[in-house]
Amino acid sequence: MRIGVPKEIKKNEYRVALTPRGVEEFTASGHDVFIEKDAGKGSGYSDESYKEAGAIITDIDEVYEKAEMIYKVKEILPPEYAYMKENLIVFTYLHSNGNREMTDVLLNSKVVAIAYEDIEDEYGMFPLLKPMSELAGKGGFIAAINFSQSIHSGNGLMLARVIGVKPATVAIIGAGSAGLGAAELASAMGNRVVILDIDMDKLEEAKFKLPLNVELLYSNRSNLVETLKEADVLINCILWNKNSKGHLIYRDDLKLMKPGSLIVDVACDEKGAIETSRPTSHDQPVYMEEGIQHYVVDNIPAAFPRTATQSLGNITLPYALEIANKGAEKALNENEYLRKGLCFYKGKLTIKETAMKFSIEYTDPKDALGII
């Protein structure tokens, strides 16, 4: 198969779908890889390194002209719409339920689009979300180290064990991939770490993954209130139900917190779990509400493109190779977990959330593929 890897064009996005090691795997299986010039530059991979691995470096038009499968990182943006064509396989993060315009383009162009975020594993988890969540949790804690500093309008606490000084309290809500990532770093630095979750199984898992001194609390209102009073940094890592009308932490609750403390909202839902949250960018990451600094960057992994590219590539490459080796139809027929990620199939919308959100007709992926 001919694989095309474009350079990502989203602002502050420096990741690339494929590393030179990944190119070697494709070429070893007899595939051709077309990479847009400078596609890997932001992640530290030169065109030369891709060429040595067997890729052809070319311009964006030829990448799309030659490709049978486009392998990328972010959703399809307006400058890329014109490249969408019938039967083109698109393998990337899509998040179509938040993007009506792109949804229409992918439907009308009759592409076969498989979204990273919807692929499941045998446990019903989302393996292609996990690595970026871990990075976001860890990056969120690294941001907390930065924005606790007085020179960045913080409260002046060093989030590390210092002889003779009480450690800072880092409270983390949500013991999933992001929460565990944040807790791993926060505890390793010698902070007092409290992690809350409503799922006892997640807390049980955390018990085995995190050091003994990390406190594991059931997330109810009274534990949350106590935690808010004690926290120097609160890191929100929960998966918030977007249909929920209320919040977990209301504006008034911020008055319970110590003045000058910091909220890092990794989950990043506008007025979601945290009423006062609104997404920010790496250019302007923080703002103040009720005397509490908020950091709500919605693409934290973008700050660590080299690590993110490697981590994402490790997990997406086996699926991309399966699609290339078998062809999309056979791969989607044989691999029910990959099939969960099928969102668009030759003019049919095969992802329920997007169909419901935009009132578009939904087709079950099995029906679309003609699987009996």
Ligand X SMILES: NC(=O)c1ccc[n+]([C@@H]2O[C@H](COP(=O)([O-])OP(=O)(O)OC[C@H]3O[C@@H](n4cnc5c(N)ncnc54)[C@H](O)[C@@H]3O)[C@@H](O)[C@H]2O)c1
User: What is the binding site for ligand X (CB under 6 A)?
Assistant: 129, 132-133, 136, 173-179, 196-199, 202, 219, 237-239, 248, 266-268, 297-301
Closest residue to ligand X: CB criterion: 176
The catalytic position among 32, 95, 104, 282 is 95
Largest pairwise CA distance in the chain = 69
Q: Which is nearer to ligand X, 84 or 268 (CB)?
A: 268
Bridging pattern class, strands 112-115 and 342-345: antiparallel
Q: Which residues pair with 195 in a beta bridge?
A: 172, 216
Q: Which is nearer to ligand X, 118 or 197 (CB)?
A: 197
* Least distance CB 124 / ligand X (angstroms): 11
Whose CA is closest to 234, among 289, 312, 304? 289
The catalytic position among 253, 265, 269, 294 is 269
* Least distance CB 203 / ligand X (angstroms): 9
* Least distance CB 167 / ligand X (angstroms): 23
Q: Which is nearer to ligand X, 18 or 175 (CB)?
A: 175
* Least distance CB 179 / ligand X (angstroms): 6
Long-range (24+ apart) CB contacts under 8 A made by 92-99 are 92/17, 92/116, 93/117, 93/128, 94/343, 96/343, 96/344, 96/351, 96/354, 97/351, 97/353, 97/354, 97/357, 97/358, 99/75
- Has 283 been annotated as catalytic? no
How far, rounded to the nearest angstrom, does the alpha carbon of residue 73 sit from its chain's CA centroid?
A: 10
- Contacts of residue 94, defined as CB under 8 A and 6 or more positions apart, other chains included, come to 75, 76, 102, 106, 113, 115, 116, 117, 343
Q: Which is nearer to ligand X, 179 or 365 (CB)?
A: 179
* Least distance CB 272 / ligand X (angstroms): 8
Whose CA is closest to 181, among 195, 167, 197, 200? 195
- Has 199 been annotated as catalytic? no
Q: Which is nearer to ligand X, 301 or 365 (CB)?
A: 301
* Least distance CB 43 / ligand X (angstroms): 17
Bridging pattern class, strands 348-349 and 342-345: antiparallel
Q: Which is nearer to ligand X, 92 or 219 (CB)?
A: 219
Q: How far is CA 88 from CA 85, 119, 176, 240, in A?
A: 6, 19, 35, 33
Cβ-count burial 171-199 (b if 16+ within 10 Å, e if not): bbbbbbbbbbbbbbbbbebebbbbbbbee
Active-site amino acid positions: 95, 269
